[in-house]
């Protein structure tokens, strides 16, 4: 389970069209903000440089990016902070380097963006013991990792060795061990349920989960489990359904951060034009899953 790869996997549904001037301006500003999210940002300055009115720029930026320029910058700073919290730097240094300036400013956003305090987020699975085992499915090799409370990882990959490396990268501070013999019968039941679902023999996949994420991620993941088999939603539709209509890009990141394939069906989220956006376990698997679910839903 490495860093999600949403964008590089995307498959366009139709030939790309030349972006409008305002769209090109917005995308340039997005790249500029992402390149240096700590740089002071004022809408009036952005508007003056772009040649558009502040209201026109804000409206188009929000429509394209899914959030205002300021909210987009905050999200970029949070990503920078999360990266810093995983490094040897101390928490205070990571907060300052992410451009928040003070601990108090960061903690105002911690519950909504991290779902926990920065120190807790930095632990990377500390205190968890995860037992894991691998098996075979129609979609290739799969690894299931579980704590005493339930499944925390379900991932597809090319080999058992690669899957084990990805699990260690995803939970760097956890204690990882081969699934104990006493849990093998339960693992066999999980595999039977997974393969039964993939074969269209089960109407839904019911597995005990123990997932950890930010408050926003958990909100998105809970909603995804309500999307019926055979149906899809766009990122913007998910954002509206969870009451965050300006958060389509954040929904995409939450889907990318899902560690439990199929049980949390992030594969059912597509682009607004219906194209298959990326999938951390491969866009071809995403296509196969959607095709199989559509057939099963139709009763064929």
Tell me which residues are annotated as active site.
266
Partners of residue 209 on adjacent β-strands: 151
Q: For residue 261, give the nearest of 201, 203, 190, 202 by alpha carbon.
A: 190
Q: How many residues in total does the chain contain?
A: 300
Partners of residue 145 on adjacent β-strands: 132, 153
Number of H helices, E strands in the chain: 13, 6
Euclidean distance between CA atoms 185 and 221, whole angstroms: 28
Euclidean distance between CA atoms 241 and 94, whole angstroms: 33
* H-type alpha helices, 199-273: 215-224, 235-241, 248-256
Euclidean distance between CA atoms 110 and 100, whole angstroms: 11
CA distances from 287 to 23, 253, 270, 278, 282 (A): 29, 19, 11, 10, 9
Element (H or E) spanning 130, and its range?
strand 129-137
Q: For residue 236, give the nearest of 201, 198, 273 by alpha carbon.
A: 273
């Amino acid at each position: 389970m490495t860093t999600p790869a949403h964008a590089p996997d995307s498959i366009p549904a139709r030939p790309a069209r030349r972006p409008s001037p305002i769209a090109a301006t917005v995308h340039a500003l997005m790249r500029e903000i992402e390149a240096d999210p700590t740089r002071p940002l004022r809408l009036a300055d952005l508007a003056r440089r772009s040649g558009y009115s502040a209201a026109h720029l804000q409206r188009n930026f929000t429509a394209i990016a899914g959030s205002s320029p300021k909210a987009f910058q905050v999200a970029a700073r949070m990503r920078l902070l999360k990266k810093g919290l995983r490094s040897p730097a101390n928490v205070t240094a990571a907060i300052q380097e992410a451009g928040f300036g003070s601990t108090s400013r960061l903690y105002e956003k911690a519950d909504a963006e991290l779902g926990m305090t920065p120190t807790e987020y930095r632990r990377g699975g500390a205190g968890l013991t995860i037992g894991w085992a691998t098996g075979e499915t129609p979609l290739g090799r799969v690894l299931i990792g579980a704590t005493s409370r339930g499944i925390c990882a379900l991932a597809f990959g090319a080999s058992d060795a690669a899957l084990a490396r990805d699990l260690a990268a995803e939970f760097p501070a956890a204690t990882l061990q081969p699934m104990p013999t006493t849990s093998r019968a339960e693992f066999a039941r999980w595999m039977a349920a997974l393969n039964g679902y993939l074969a269209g023999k089960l109407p839904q996949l019911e597995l005990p989960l123990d997932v950890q994420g930010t408050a926003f991620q958990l909100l998105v993941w809970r909603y995804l489990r309500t999307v019926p088999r055979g149906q899809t939603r766009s990122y913007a539709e998910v954002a509206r359904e969870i009451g965050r209509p300006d958060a389509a890009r954040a929904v995409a990141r939450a889907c990318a951060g899902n560690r439990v394939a199929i049980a949390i069906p992030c594969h059912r989220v597509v682009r607004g034009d219906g194209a298959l956006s990326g999938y951390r376990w491969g866009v071809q698997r995403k296509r196969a899953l959607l095709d199989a679910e559509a057939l099963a839903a139709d009763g064929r």
